[in-house]
Chain A
Amino acid sequence: MAAMDAEAIQELLERRFPDAAELTVEDRTGTGDHFHVTVASAEFDELPLLDQHRRVNEVLADRIADGSIHELRIKTKGTA
């Protein structure tokens, strides 16, 4: 599967979370398929953790399904 670079993921997430207070993507292994994503957004305030993660997963769903992202670690935060 084609690896992705962290910038491409960052771009996808920025498009989905344009008002994020914090948004970082780290390539954990340097191999373009293990990423650690951190998103802090006001839309996560009051939202259950499961749904926060769902919203991040949704953005990258195709890449997870086709195996180009092998591992996705997610850290979400509200801004309140």
Chain B
Amino acid sequence: MKELRDQIEEVIKEEPVALFMKGTPQMVMCGNSYRALNALHAAKAPVTAVDILPDPRIRQELSELSGWPTIPQVFVKGELVGGADIVEELLESGELERKLDGALGDDRSQEVKVVSLELA
């Protein structure tokens, strides 16, 4: 089994849009995760969601990697975009959609999937 940190890095690097959140898109467990998810939907983003709640180490490793202290965290093509406040602000200014157009093209998929990390 891969180290937790390597699994997190892989999601960030491989997935077009990664959302680290509390809960899943089907069962969101925090208002801020909900705000980020909604903003991504509104900007027609594909979303690969990772629930950080199953183990506190997920959040710890993630924050060490990203240098970002809070959840949710949104990455586009491996790059940290920000948390709920930033993603909402970028949605309102139209910048989120432009960023996604630039990174993924404008006929991108809007698939939503969930990745579960393997925990030792």
Contacts and interface: CB of A to CB of B under 8 A. Distances in A.
A32 B61 CA distance: 27
10 contacts: A49-B86, A50-B80, A50-B82, A53-B82, A53-B85, A61-B69, A71-B32, A72-B70, A73-B32, A73-B85
A64 B83 contact: no
Give the secondary structure class of A's interface. helix
B90 interface: yes
Nearest to A63: B69
B14 interface: no
Contacts of B90: 49
B69 A65 contact: yes
Interface of A: 49-50, 53-54, 57, 61, 64-65, 71-75
Contacts, number: 30
Given A65-B69, A71-B32, A71-B70, 9 more contacts: A49-B82, A50-B82, A53-B83, A53-B85, A54-B67, A57-B68, A64-B69, A64-B70, A75-B85
Interface residues of B, number: 15
B4 interface: no
Contacts of B106: none
A71 B34 CA distance: 14
Interface string B57-78: 0000001000111100000000
